[in-house]
Amino acid sequence: SYDKPTICYHQLCVSLLIDAKRRRILRMIAEYIASIVMDRNIAQNLIKLKIDWRLL
């Protein structure tokens, strides 16, 4: 059985991985939005993207 510090360390590692994944998703979204800024149909592109912000 794990001692308490090991469990805490494991939870920290898991949360860091989740944060890294979230940052990568946010960066992808930012790059996508930046790529369509010059597009006339920005609103349509954002609707097409259909991102559920609650997941972030």
Q: What is the pLDDT of residues 11-22, one digit of tens each?
A: 888 888 888 888
C-alpha 12: how far from its chain's center?
18
Q: How confident is the model at residue 34 (pLDDT cuts 50, 70, 90)?
A: confident
Residue with tokens 């949360």: 15
38 burial class (0-12, 13-18, 19+ CB within 10 angstroms)?
A: exposed
pLDDT for res 32? 82
If DSSP states are collapsed to H, E and C, what string results for 1-56?
CCCHHHHHHHHHHHHHHHHHHHHHHHHHHHHHHHHHCCCCCHHHHHHHHCCCHHHC
The pTM for the full model equals 0.44
